[in-house]
A and B are shown apart, each in its own frame.
Chain A
Amino acid sequence: MSDTFVCCPFCGLLCDDLTIALNKGQAQIESAGCARAVKLFVVPRQSQALVAGQAVDLAAAYRAAAAILTRSQHPLMGGLACDVTGHRAALALAEKVGGVVDHMNGQAQFRNWLPFQDGGWMTTTLSEVRNRADLIVLAGTDTSRFPRFFERCLTPESQFGELHRQIIALGTNLPLIPGRPTDTDLAIPIQNERLGELFAALRARLAGHRLDAPDIAGVPLAQIDALLVALHAARYGVLVWNAAELDFPNADLAIQAMVNLIKDLNRTTRWSGLPLGGNDGDTSAAQVCTWQAGYPLRTTFEASGPHYEPMLYATDALLESGDVDALVWISAFDPERTPPTANCPTIVLGRPDMIFTRPPDVFIPVAVPGVQHTGFLHRMDAVVALPLSAPAPADLPSVAQALVAIQQKLNHAAA
């Protein structure tokens, strides 16, 4: 392939314009890497499988993992930070053992899935934002968890001529906007916990209702009305949020207030939502589970078929309640995403440089998708799935290979 550009799997933007050189077997970013990518592209080529903290060969680790799963009545396939092929294998294993699936970013994902399944929404994708958005409202996020968001999606040049974008930030962090005079932008200080109130008030004003309060969530009514005028004036407005940063009780209702305002605005003008996310392969995990089982994760495989309980099958709740009796933690992208504390046997398929304060029952080092093995991954908008290359191949199993090996040991045990 003539293509020399590499796709970065380490955040939901999936920037695919990186150039990479090999230096002593290590991938080294030559251009277009953010700090996160520069750090995470460096992966050891080898690591040691562990059972009960002792070094073992991979076959012994697979056997130990299979033994745990054989004893388990209801294991949790958690983490799920891997590529599409890994997700397929994880779902196959969950189906085989009657397990439940949730992603490590499940709390954030379901803040979006709940309003989505309750009322639907209107959203857009990154290239639409880049070409059309003349007003961007950042609700409770400065987008810094997606380091190249401004550079990739909010350049002035568009195919419809130069865009004079206005950016309105709602929250406690004013975003740092590279190369832009901040005085053209508007920042409205508001606690994230109160964003729902603000959006409900905007909806009410849009519908022509009077509000009998001097302010809503600390925002004076006059400013709310001025904001509404600005929203109305946009040709193509985009409301951006990151569910992971809306970390407070019932944040799904705040998101619902946002998406309902977008729907209302679309009666007369064009607005779309852009839910940031997609880190740690979470978009792919939800997509694969949806097409295979019908539900976007938090699904258990029962004898009668897949069973979906978005409120009950959350990783933390399952581990706390003891509804699961084994944890398989898949974390192939970020060594800091170690498993949560669990009172049940834990199997970790982790990046080779993962460090534990207390080693899990079984640790299987796995290759990093997009660095050490090829694969597929979805961008945050779930539309674009990109091919991952392997600029620094290593002699480690992929998540899918490790899971298939474990499942084969299970089959042997059953035979």
Chain B
Amino acid sequence: MLRLKGGRLYDPAHGIDGQVGDLYVEDGRIVADPGPDAVIHQEIDLTNRVVMAGAIDLHTHIGGGKVNIARALLPEDHRFDPAPATDLMHAGCGHAAPSTWTTGYRYAEMGYTACFEPAMLPSNARHAHLEMGDIPMVDKGAYAMLGSDDFFLRLLATGADQRLVNDYVGWTLDSSQAMAIKVVNPGGISAFKFNARNLDLDEAHPYYSVTPRQVIQTLARAVHDLGVAHPLHVHASNLGIPGNADTTLATMAAAEGLPIHITHIQFHSYGMEGERKFSSEAERIADAINHMGNVSADVGQILFGQTVTASGDTMIQHRNRRHASPDKWVCMDIECDAGCGVVPFKYRDKNFVNALQWAIGLELFLRVTDPWRIFLTTDHPNGAPFTSYPHLIRLLMDRNFRNSKLDEINPEAAAHSQLRQLAREYDLYEIAIMTRAAPARSLGLSDRGHLGVGAAADIVVYRDDTDREVMFAKPEYVFKDGRLIVRDGRVVEVVNGAVHVVKPEYDKGIEKPLKDYFDRYMTVKMEHIKVSDDEICSCGASRLIPHKCSVSSS
């Protein structure tokens, strides 16, 4: 048994806000105080140390076809950040589109113990699980993308019963081994295949005549009816387009009270005010979130420098090709299922639009009052690589630092932004909520994201440092399932994480029309698109952790 003695605990799931206490770890779990007679094999004195559960990233593009396209597209970016092999670690590369090995090591070195890939195409699921199988250190999971797949759109267009849709959504979660459902530019990826270049929330799809609003409502209902913990994860229409805040607000309303998660909401909080017809609508968006208890969001903060955007949203990514830096980009239509677009970006602090995007993201963080419903993400790598999280945390926790950075950006953008007036500074408790307790709760991970008895011993220990960037970049200790994996910000043991999936109840009769559809129109058999439970470990994960869905009686 291991005793972690006398640390300052931040465990918002149990309302613990910096109280000094001991943690006991046995067989990978946090256990109750065993009393004075217990044999303690190892004790670590954590006096004055900050102790939190392992951090959880609920939206990070770490594995799957489009990530590999991004990697292959950017050899020049990798050259600046080679990762040599060590006795423990595999070689690879870092920065914007890091290799799988390096992704796992660097997440763990920052105190993250679970990462969720938000855009797994069912047709690409086996590949995504193979890639994630080579991401060590952290637990993983993925959200299956629906909403532009032809099978679903056919169901919707023919007025299929919601129960049939639910079966299809349940089947998709099951057969692709997913943790949640994501929708990207609802119907829009499909519409682009029919040569549509825009699809607004209430605009009819050029072939199916259904609207994005219907797609969202049907999927949100299905996710809810199936009892999936994480709400429908929505990448809304009109990403990045000035004036899109109206669409975003209408999208929130479209859920009609059902739980909905709006992802990388920074990219969806734009107005059209001012000479440049580009302005911040962060206040209006944040107010809406503050008033709508069914809505959560992650920010998708941008930070300055080279990165690469990788998205299922072919319609928008094709439009964004004009901004590619370096000037190259990839778009792909995929298997009557979805698509992907990869566009390298360089966000510049002296550029008006980029600087305002930066300020809008921070404004959203500071204006949303409930840290349980706003999550810390950069939409890695779209807004910035995940390795910039410690910097982002400092921006949230340190107003003087934030204002000094505000002085460096495009002055016109700084003048347009109300960021300087926002005095809020996140405290450690709020950081622990938004990076641990809240994502665990949102995903239904009952034994992660907290330090209570019975939790998995994913524990991070920081030296308290007024420079929060330094503090969060290099934890003193990181434990994964009770094993010490990182010491002073360096990997000391390599472990392989598990894969979390949900296992909803659904009527397997859906396979009859699906089999017919695959046989008639697809180039793969339905049976072969399914990823079996056994395959998850063959793909490389340590184990499969199934989560039951709890169907509410309402």
Q: Digit string of B188-203 for contact with A (CB within 8 Å is 1, else 0)?
A: 0000111100000000
B128: nearest residue on chain A (CB-CB)? A385
Contacts of A57 in B (CB 8 A): none
CB pair A306 B207 closer than 8 Å:
no
Q: Is A117 an interface residue (CB 8 A)?
A: yes
Kindly identify which residue among A16, A95, A159, A304 contacts B336, using a CB–CB cutoff of 8 Å.
A159
* Stretch among B65-73, B276-284, B415-423, B474-482 lining the A interface: B65-73
* Stretch among B227-235, B353-361, B432-440, B523-531 lining the A interface: B523-531
CB pair B84 A159 closer than 8 Å:
no
A160: nearest residue on chain B (CB-CB)? B207
A92: nearest residue on chain B (CB-CB)? B90
The docked-state distance in angstroms from the alpha carbon of A126 to that of B123 is 12
* Stretch among B41-49, B93-101, B107-115 lining the A interface: B93-101
Give B185 Cβ to nearest chain A Cβ, in Å. 16
* Stretch among B327-335, B384-392, B449-457, B484-492 lining the A interface: B327-335
The docked-state distance in angstroms from the alpha carbon of A5 to that of B522 is 15
Kindly identify which residue among B79, B98, B331, B525 contacts A3, using a CB–CB cutoff of 8 Å.
B525
CB pair A235 B195 closer than 8 Å:
yes
Q: Digit string of A73-108 for contact with B (CB within 8 Å is 1, else 0)?
A: 000000000001000100010010000000000000
The docked-state distance in angstroms from the alpha carbon of A126 to that of B518 is 13
Contacts of A123 in B (CB 8 A): 330, 332-333
Kindly identify which residue among A159, A304, A382 contacts B65, using a CB–CB cutoff of 8 Å.
A382
CB pair B521 A130 closer than 8 Å:
yes
* Stretch among A58-66, A182-190, A266-274, A337-345 lining the B interface: A266-274
CB contact list, A159-177 vs B, under 8 A: 159-160
Q: Is B63 an interface residue (CB 8 A)?
A: yes
CB pair B75 A294 closer than 8 Å:
yes
B132: nearest residue on chain A (CB-CB)? A291
CB contact list, B354-388 vs A, under 8 A: none
Given A266-B318, A378-B127, A384-B124, A122–B327 Cβ distance below 8 Å? no
Give A133 Cβ to nearest chain B Cβ, in Å. 11
CB contact list, A110-129 vs B, under 8 A: 113, 116-128
CB pair B336 A131 closer than 8 Å:
yes
CB pair B525 A16 closer than 8 Å:
yes
B77: nearest residue on chain A (CB-CB)? A294
Contacts of B84 in A (CB 8 A): 302-305
Give B242 Cβ to nearest chain A Cβ, in Å. 21
* Stretch among A41-49, A150-158, A318-326 lining the B interface: A150-158
CB pair B525 A17 closer than 8 Å:
yes
What total of chain A residues lie within 8 Å of the partner, measured CB to CB?
Answer: 67
CB pair A292 B100 closer than 8 Å:
yes
CB pair B195 A122 closer than 8 Å:
no
The docked-state distance in angstroms from the alpha carbon of A125 to that of B538 is 26
Given A159-B154, A294-B99, A301-B85, A120–B332 Cβ distance below 8 Å? no
CB pair A383 B65 closer than 8 Å:
yes
A13: nearest residue on chain B (CB-CB)? B523
Given A113-B72, A117-B75, A376-B126, A293–B99 Cβ distance below 8 Å? yes
Give B366 Cβ to nearest chain A Cβ, in Å. 36
What total of chain B residues lie within 8 Å of the partner, measured CB to CB?
Answer: 66
A374: nearest residue on chain B (CB-CB)? B538
Q: Digit string of A391-406 for contact with B (CB within 8 Å is 1, else 0)?
A: 0000000000000000
CB pair A291 B82 closer than 8 Å:
no
The docked-state distance in angstroms from the alpha carbon of A3 to that of B511 is 13
CB pair B127 A287 closer than 8 Å:
yes
CB pair B329 A120 closer than 8 Å:
yes
CB pair B78 A5 closer than 8 Å:
no
CB pair B521 A128 closer than 8 Å:
no
Contacts of A125 in B (CB 8 A): 123, 332-335
B207: nearest residue on chain A (CB-CB)? A160
CB pair B334 A383 closer than 8 Å:
yes
Give B257 Cβ to nearest chain A Cβ, in Å. 34
CB pair A122 B193 closer than 8 Å:
no
CB pair A291 B71 closer than 8 Å:
yes
CB pair B72 A295 closer than 8 Å:
yes
Q: Is B512 an interface residue (CB 8 A)?
A: no
Give A268 Cβ to nearest chain B Cβ, in Å. 8
Q: Is B271 an interface residue (CB 8 A)?
A: no
Q: Is A2 an interface residue (CB 8 A)?
A: yes
Q: Is B241 an interface residue (CB 8 A)?
A: no
Given A95-B85, A132-B193, A291-B131, A296–B72 Cβ distance below 8 Å? yes
Give A80 Cβ to nearest chain B Cβ, in Å. 16
Given A293-B92, A305-B82, A385–B130 Cβ distance below 8 Å? yes
Q: Is A290 an interface residue (CB 8 A)?
A: yes
Contacts of A291 in B (CB 8 A): 63, 67-68, 71, 99-100, 131, 134
CB pair B99 A117 closer than 8 Å:
no
CB pair A384 B130 closer than 8 Å:
no
CB pair A124 B332 closer than 8 Å:
yes
Residues of A within 8 A of B (CB): 1-3, 5, 7, 13, 16-17, 84, 88, 92, 95, 113, 116-128, 130-132, 152-153, 157-160, 235-236, 266, 269-270, 272, 286-288, 290-296, 301-308, 376, 378, 382-387
Identify 29 residue pairs between A and B in the complex whose beta-carbon atoms are under 8 Å apart, listed by A's number: A5-B525, A5-B527, A17-B525, A119-B327, A120-B328, A122-B332, A127-B521, A127-B523, A127-B524, A236-B193, A266-B331, A269-B195, A270-B194, A287-B68, A291-B63, A291-B99, A292-B99, A293-B91, A301-B91, A303-B84, A306-B78, A306-B93, A308-B79, A378-B127, A382-B68, A383-B121, A384-B126, A384-B335, A384-B529
Residues of B within 8 A of A (CB): 63, 65, 67-68, 71-73, 75, 78-79, 82-85, 90-93, 97-101, 121, 123-124, 126-127, 130-131, 134, 150, 154, 192-195, 207, 318, 324, 327-337, 342, 517, 520-525, 527-529, 532, 535, 538-539
Rank and list the top 9 A-B pairs by shortest CB-CB distance, nearest first: A305-B82, A294-B93, A3-B527, A120-B328, A126-B523, A385-B127, A385-B126, A294-B78, A120-B330
List 8 extra interface pairs beyond A118-B328, A292-B92, A305-B92, CB under 8 A: A5-B527, A16-B528, A120-B330, A120-B342, A159-B521, A236-B193, A378-B127, A386-B528
